[in-house]
Amino acid sequence: MRKQQNYGNQSFVVSIRSQENHSWQGTLTWVEEQKQENFRSVLELLKLMDSAISSGQSSTIGGDEG
Whether 48 and 61 have beta carbons less than 8 Å apart is answered as: yes
The amino acid sitting at 43 is L
pLDDT of 59 reads: 44
pLDDT of 42 reads: 95
Q: Domains of the chain: which residue ranges?
A: 12-55
Successive 10-residue mean pLDDT values, the chain, 66 residues? 61 93 93 93 94 67 55
pLDDT of 55 reads: 75
**22: CB partners within 8 A, 6+ apart:** none
Is the full-model pTM beyond 0.85?
no
Whether 27 and 15 have beta carbons less than 8 Å apart is answered as: yes
45 — phi, psi (to 5°)? -60, -50
pLDDT of 52 reads: 87
